[in-house]
């Protein structure tokens, strides 16, 4: 009998690290591990990279395969700014994707180059979420810390380098920095924000090996390590996504994306023109406020997250951490149209609607940016922590007008990383590995009539709120 070959895929996310051990031949998950992270609750959103490393070790050990895995790969939260000294230690806590303090620096970068030029160079209009403005913020606000920096990394780069000793990254994750385009690192943008390219890792081609595990670490010495990628790119791999299949991910942040045939370049800033982890593109729209924001409303109302009620005309914009789509980094939550007869369940449903609205209204732009037909009838693939929630499912069905597919597989980001690891050994593309594992299979919920009245109500409130915030509202 042939020896079982197992790989480990890791998802280092905002709130925790998850690891899955997967049988290369069958796709069966044979072990899982998890360890929590903490995120600061102060002026910004920060996290100590050293705790990611500790959580990585705990999660990998929890799979039961750390000493036997044939290969490993790490996916991580996008955009985070990890700054290291000459010894490889963090100079300060990492600035996370949902830290919006760098909004002024993002605005300065847009003003310096112009929207069309930045979209041409990098595919995206950088917001406060992107890494480039975060570096500019660090130089402006903590110059002594910036002077100590000998290496700048993304979260998944940091962990991969700790494992292998190699300073490398991949095209998917680096495409979310705001300083990389198809021709490589953009020297003009780097000069503008004062970042020496010598501090940055090498961008490896898709499917390349990052290195092997060094001795004395949580995995067996010599184990091959794939390049890894950003969490959204890994989820696309984990689904074995084909061009034109739209995905809505409900997590701490909300994202809607699809693998595209064409390189995106949206000067409006709604669609980020990311690369995928293979040789293509992953146009994506992202919001900062998703499941955590809705859960906060449920807590304030003293209700279970699924205790929603139909009816009512109240509108909630749950921008509790500012917002990225629409670009309102200084925004706060807003409740509009509250009446005596508004019930707590209607108010909670309005929070769901507000969280889903921006993503679903960006869906056509995401598909169009990748060269796909927005009028296609592909089911909307629903993933992430909220995907199995009844209220989330019904909200997405009602506001999208599309059928919704909910994959049975869980931890799709970690599964995508596992597919990368398996591809090192089998020679297949990573997305082909996932399709062979049949990770996207799951029930399809039939489409219902789109609730245009709710969409119009939210859109009207958003336009007014955008004007009050002094920033362009959606659709302008």
Residues annotated as part of the active site: 231
Only one residue has tokens 């205790």, namely: 307
Cα–Cα distance between 82 and 160 in angstroms, integer? 13
Print the SS3 string covering 110-155.
Answer: HHHHCHHHHHHHHCCCCCCCCHHHHHHHHHHHCHHHHHHCCEEECH
Q: Which helix (DSSP H) or strand (DSSP E) does residue 283 occupy?
A: strand 281-287
Dmax (CA) for the chain in angstroms is 70
Q: Which tokens is 263 given?
A: 């390189």
- Using alpha carbons, select from 122, 97, 92 the residue that is nearest to residue 109: 122
Give one DSSP letter per residue of 176-219, joined into a string: TSSSEETTEE-HHHHHHHT--GGGSPEEEPTT-EEEEPPTTSSS
Phi and psi, residue 126, nearest 5°: -65, 130
- Using alpha carbons, select from 155, 173, 163, 159 the residue that is nearest to residue 14: 155
Cα–Cα distance between 300 and 430 in angstroms, integer? 43
228: left (phi over 0), alpha (psi -120 to 50) or beta: left
3-state helix, strand, coil in the chain (%, to 5): 35, 20, 45
Q: Do 451 and 310 contact (CB within 8 A), yes or no?
A: no
CA angle 288, 293, 294 (to 5 degrees): 130
Cα–Cα distance between 416 and 430 in angstroms, integer? 8
């Amino acid at each position: 009998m042939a020896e079982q070959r197992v790989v480990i895929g890791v998802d280092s996310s905002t709130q925790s690290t998850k690891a899955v051990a997967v049988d290369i031949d069958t796709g069966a998950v044979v072990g899982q591990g998890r360890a929590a992270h903490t995120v600061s609750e102060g002026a910004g959103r920060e996290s100590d990279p050293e705790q990611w490393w500790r959580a990585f070790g705990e999660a990998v050990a929890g799979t039961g395969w750390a000493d036997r895995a044939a290969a490993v790969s790490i996916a991580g939260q996008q955009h985070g700014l990890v700054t290291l000294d000459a010894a490889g230690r963090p100079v300060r806590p990492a600035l996370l994707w949902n830290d919006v303090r760098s909004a002024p620096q993002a605005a300065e970068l847009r003003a310096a180059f112009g929207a069309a030029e930045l979209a041409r160079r990098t595919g995206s209009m950088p917001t406060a979420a992107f890494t480039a403005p975060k570096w500019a913020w660090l130089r402006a606000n903590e110059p002594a810390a910036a002077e100590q920096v000998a290496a700048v990394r993304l979260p998944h780069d940091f962990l991969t380098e700790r494992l292998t000793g190699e300073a490398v990254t991949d095209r998917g994750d680096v495409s979310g920095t705001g300083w990389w385009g198809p021709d490589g690192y953009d020297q003009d943008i780097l000069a503008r924000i004062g970042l020496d390219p010598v501090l940055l890792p090498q961008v490896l081609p898709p499917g390349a090996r990052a290195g092997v595990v060094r001795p004395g670490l949580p995995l067996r010495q010599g184990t091959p390590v794939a390049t890894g990628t950003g969490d959204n790119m890994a989820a696309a791999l984990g689904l074995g996504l084909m061009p034109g299949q739209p995905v809505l991910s409900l997590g701490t942040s909300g994202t809607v994306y699809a693998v595209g045939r064409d390189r995106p370049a949206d000067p409006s800033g709604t669609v980020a023109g990311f690369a995928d982890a293979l040789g293509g593109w992953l146009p994506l729209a992202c919001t900062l406020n998703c499941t955590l924001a809705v859960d906060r409303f449920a807590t304030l109302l003293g209700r279970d997250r699924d205790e929603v009620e139909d009816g009512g005309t109240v509108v909630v914009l749950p921008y509790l951490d500012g917002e990225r789509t629409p670009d309102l980094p200084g925004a706060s939550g807003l409740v509009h149209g509250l009446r005596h007869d508004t019930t707590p369940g209607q108010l909670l449903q309005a929070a769901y609607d507000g969280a889903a609205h921006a993503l679903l209204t960006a869906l056509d732009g995401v598909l169009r940016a990748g060269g796909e037909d927005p009028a296609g009838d592909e089911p909307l693939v629903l993933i992430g922590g909220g995907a199995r929630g009844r209220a989330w499912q019904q909200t997405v069905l009602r506001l999208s007008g599309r059928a919704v597919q909910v994959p049975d597989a869980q931890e799709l980001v970690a599964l995508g990383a596992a597919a990368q690891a398996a591809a090192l050994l089998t020679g297949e593309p990573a997305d082909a590995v996932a399709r062979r594992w049949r990770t996207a299979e799951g029930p399809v919920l039939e489409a219902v009539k789109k609730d245009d009245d709710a969409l119009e109500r939210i859109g009207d409130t958003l336009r007014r709120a955008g004007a009050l915030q002094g920033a362009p509202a959606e659709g302008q």
